[in-house]
Amino acid sequence: MEKLYDDSWAPVLKPLFSQPYMKQLSSFVQEERQRAKVFPPANLVMNAFKLTPLYNVKVVILGQDPYHNDGQAHGLSFSVPEGIALPPSLKNIFKELQDDIEGFVEPRSGDLTAWAKQGVLLLNATLTVQAHLAGSHQKRGWEIFTDSIIHAISEQCEHVVFLLWGSYAQKKSVLIDARKHLILTSVHPSPLSVYRGFFGSKHFSKANKYLVEHGKVPIDWRLS
């Protein structure tokens, strides 16, 4: 049977999975899958934890909700699989990268798996959604689960960069020990807010500068 997450996460995830709220959440998601389309597919819900081992987390990019249109969500915040049109927020992330990172060229694919494999945890606060209904699985328990994950990373890892874009993500800063990690905040990269401070934030180069200062290999943000 295919593993749903990397073994390094087991000490964090297993106690959470046994909590009553997670059992209720699991039942809810299973019932939803029986009566409607739910994204991402069941085998990709924990994709971020499969691709980025806990001991390798260098950067956390926090999203809110999985994409809710067909074929978009694959368990990584802001990312879409190869062959899927770039969502507006991701296009804006790529625009900022072109300004911020030398040699970055906007890729044809919005698949951010290459980042995940380098230690960028692409974490959504809610890990499932009903098709075409944004926010439909919020306040069902996922947020308690992902808040616990953020807190665990803060406790167990050293010198991680947290990229918190938009007011929703910024509220998570209370879970993070700012004395041992770097928290970078800005407005969300969505078209509604991107010009109010996401463009020009230089979060990607700032993250790399911090990683290098703390003896870590920087992220190669370029996507071929």
**Contact present, 181 and 160 (Cβ < 8 Å):** yes
Distance CA 160, CA 180 (A): 8
Alpha helices, DSSP H, located in 107-141 = 113-118
Give the residue among 118, 113, 138 at the shortest CA–CA distance from 128. Answer: 138
Distance CA 131, CA 35 (A): 11
Set 65, 111, 147, 220: catalytic member: 65
Tell me if residue 6 is catalytic.
Answer: no
User: Do you know the residue count of the chain?
Assistant: 224
Residues annotated as catalytic (active site), given as ranges: 65
